[in-house]
Structure 1
Amino acid sequence: MQWGDVYVRSCAMALGERELVEAAVAAGRYDPAIRDAHGYESISVAGSRYAADMAVDAARVAIARSAVDPADIGVFIHAYVDEQGPEGVAEPASYVQGMAHDGRARALGVRQGCNGAIASLEVGAMYVSAGSVAVLTSADKYVGEGDRYRDDQGCVPADGATAMVLGREEGVARLLATEIIGDGRFSGLTALDPGQFEDRQEFRKAQRKRVVSMMRTMTEAKHDCVRAALADAEVGAGDIRHWLLPYNGRFMVDRDFCAEFEIDDERTTWDLGRTVGHLSGGDPVVGLTHLLETGAVAVGDRVVMLGDSAGFAFGCAVLEIVAKPAWQVDR
């Protein structure tokens, strides 16, 4: 999907304190072999802070940086996966809107897993094209009953929030194109009932066949998504200076994907991601915020943001940096 007059006016992030993974290894919480395979150095941990309150903090900073008239804000879109808090809050998007904005606006919640921020970006761009200013937020915090270092062998879930303000006519980056591909045919992968099979071996065989088919579809969808976004943006992979990938562990990196699109570590923000962990859908916005805050992008740079929701939704956004932000900070 091509975009014309849609600009990123600003962005911001609110992260927890960095917890060194070595401490988790020493405490027996994190398998050292998995640590070595994935390459994380530290994880953002928020302590007692609620996810929604971190989104409020990020939104306030992004709105202030954007210099938009709050009266022009027409929609807040909040992307999340897990419980948001505080207790008694039934609709996190409305909570973020009410706490970060002294006025009325639409408040929409997006739950598309780790593709949430890209989905919000595409929906927000539609509102901007209709004349609104859009505030996009994402937030998540580990609330599992187990241990964040054991729950997901592909990444370590982190705590944090992001915010982005979209508007027309001017900004730090222009949105060139977005693409989202969804494929829900395998959403019932775990619904296979072992009782339907005569023995465990037959069950495993059926499960394996389903997983192999799913993985093939996932790979095709991810590649097709990026190809379509680049085509709509009228750029090639070689024109992209920065690739903002999800902060999954290094063992999970799709080497064939990186080879096709000429992606090496120097063109990603993995040096930041390895110190933060996986922030659900917020990873690419954290990456973009980092690049802008530290001055690591130059006017004319093209940037790709990627989202991947558990294999069932893939998102890609292509932007061009058009101005140097006035809000660079030291981190």
Structure 2
Amino acid sequence: MKPVEPVGIAAAALWLPEGRARMAEAVADGRLRARQAKELGHPEVPEAGPESAPGMAVDAARAALRVADIEAKDLDICAHAWMYYQGHDLWSPAHYIAHELGAHRALPVGIQQVCNGGAAGVELTVARLTADANRSPDGYRWGTVTTGDRFTEPGFDRWTSDYGVVYGDAGTALLLRAPAAPEDALRLRSVVTMAAPELESMHRGADPFAPAARTQRPRVDMRATKRAYLHEHGHERFIRANENAIRTIVAEALRDAGIGPRDPRLRYAVLPRFGLKTLQEFWLPILADCVDAEPLDYGRTTGHLGAGDAAAGLAELMDSRALGPGEAALVFSAGAGFTWSCLVVQAPGR
């Protein structure tokens, strides 16, 4: 998707709790084998204490609003995405976030697209901001995209509920505006998403449909559903779909942004926050063949942040001032379904 008018990323925030879950302790407890720990490559990940998942999203959104010096009352949309339980059984965390921020004029929207929800929230928010000709008194339309996830016992084991991924707790927020302004830290040049719905059963497996959450098993077990899928279909179907999706979203996102794959302005490719082996086998070789951009792996000390990988990558890209004037980066997100997204962002010129 190429925005019909320029869209700016006015601010991005990553909020991490103070607690840390350490891989060495998981190995010592017998939850991980030493070989598995090496393949994952996360010495520690953030672990929430009393913080709720939506509460961390609120903290991140407040930080983004402060950076841009924008009041929540000016927001037009508050999109919130998540992967895991938000703290109440039948409830809208998006409305809670808007209420806590004081964004009483905004439309709260909840997005349940699992790990790719943050990127889906960007697409939805951009479409909303650029489709409406009405503007606030400052001449802009404003939107936040937040994520918040807390992967806690007893229902989730951050170390062993999945293959190739360790899950960290965090809140993220992006503050978008249309049209873009010269002072925006980055401009969103394009965002492209591709899905492979035929892979949905990787997270369903052979399980029957259940009447309530975790009645099938007392803990989320994506390993079990993936084993069932692989037993029936093998590995090649997913490997082919993953490679095709990464190549497609890179090519289409760069085309929409008007940037070539070997353009010297294209400096970085911000990776999803997966385990080392997963990145080395299923991401890095494909990206090296597609673009000259240097891969950035910000996830070693955070792990996978549920729906928040793309926003967290943008926040760290901006905080580190990694992009010089006019330089661009690819930012990736992927999740169950399966769905893959690529955002192209560019720093303002001189």
Please tell me the TM-score bracket, short chain as reference: 0.7 to 0.9
How far did residue 27 of structure 1 move? Answer: 2.9
How far did residue 106 of structure 1 move? Answer: 0.3
C-alpha separation between the residues in 2 aligned to 1:89 and 1:310?
22
C-alpha separation between the residues in 2 aligned to 1:105 and 1:205?
41
Q: 1:22 aligns with which of 21, 24, 44?
A: 24
CA offsets 1:115-152 (integer angstroms, 9 cap, x no match):
11111111111122135311110111103535321211
Where 1:257 maps in the other structure, the secondary structure is: helix
How far did residue 294 of structure 1 move? Answer: 2.7
C-alpha separation between the residues in 1 aligned to 2:120 and 2:292?
23
Q: Which amino acid aligns with 1:2?
A: K
How far did residue 311 of structure 1 move? Answer: 5.3
How far did residue 193 of structure 1 move? Answer: 7.8
C-alpha separation between the residues in 2 aligned to 1:312 and 1:62?
30
- Matching of residues 274-289 of structure 1 within 5 Å: 274-289=300-315
Residue of structure 2 equivalent to 1:227? 251
Residue of structure 1 equivalent to 2:56? 54
How far did residue 205 of structure 1 move? Answer: 10
Bigger mean CA deviation after superposition, 38-47 or 87-96: 87-96
Where 1:188 maps in the other structure, the secondary structure is: helix
Q: 1:258 aligns with which of 274, 287, 312?
A: 287
Q: Structure 1 stretches of 5 or more lacking a match? A: 195-202, 325-331
Q: 1:308 aligns with which of 334, 342, 347?
A: 334
C-alpha separation between the residues in 2 aligned to 1:315 and 1:34?
27
Residue of structure 2 equivalent to 1:99? 100
**CA RMSD, Structure 1 to Structure 2 (Å):** 2.5
- Matching of residues 47-196 of structure 1 within 5 Å: 47-85=49-87, 87=88, 90-129=91-130, 130=132, 131=135, 132-144=141-153, 145=155, 147-167=157-177, 168-170=179-181, 171-189=184-202, 190-192=204-206
Residue of structure 2 equivalent to 1:327? none
Q: Which amino acid aligns with 1:278?
A: H
C-alpha spacing 1:234/1:23, structure 2 compared with 1 (3 Å): same
Q: Which amino acid aligns with 2:91?
A: A
C-alpha separation between the residues in 2 aligned to 1:205 and 1:99?
41
How far did residue 40 of structure 1 move? Answer: 1.2
Q: Which amino acid aligns with 1:260?
A: D
Q: Larger helix proportion, structure 1 or 2?
A: 1
Aligned residues: 312
Residue of structure 2 equivalent to 1:41? 43
Does the 8 A contact of 1:180 with 1:225 survive in 2? yes
Q: Which amino acid aligns with 1:58?
A: A
C-alpha spacing 1:293/1:205, structure 2 compared with 1 (3 Å): closer
Q: Structure 2 stretches of 5 or more lacking a match? A: 136-140, 209-226
Where 2:331 maps in the other structure, the secondary structure is: strand
C-alpha spacing 1:208/1:73, structure 2 compared with 1 (3 Å): same
Q: Which amino acid aligns with 1:256?
A: P
C-alpha separation between the residues in 2 aligned to 1:135 and 1:204?
38
Does the 8 A contact of 2:73 with 2:102 survive in 1? no
Does the 8 A contact of 1:115 with 1:309 survive in 2? yes
Residue of structure 2 equivalent to 1:197? none
Residue of structure 2 equivalent to 1:237? 261
C-alpha separation between the residues in 2 aligned to 1:230 and 1:208?
36
Does the 8 A contact of 1:157 with 1:280 survive in 2? yes
Bigger mean CA deviation after superposition, 277-286 or 157-166: 277-286
Does the 8 A contact of 2:45 with 2:303 survive in 1? yes
Where 2:6 maps in the other structure, the secondary structure is: coil
Does the 8 A contact of 1:15 with 1:161 survive in 2? yes
Q: Which amino acid aligns with 1:137?
A: T
C-alpha separation between the residues in 2 aligned to 1:204 and 1:43?
29
C-alpha separation between the residues in 2 aligned to 1:205 and 1:125?
35
C-alpha separation between the residues in 2 aligned to 1:109 and 1:311?
17
TM-score scaled by structure 2? 0.82
C-alpha separation between the residues in 2 aligned to 1:247 and 1:226?
18
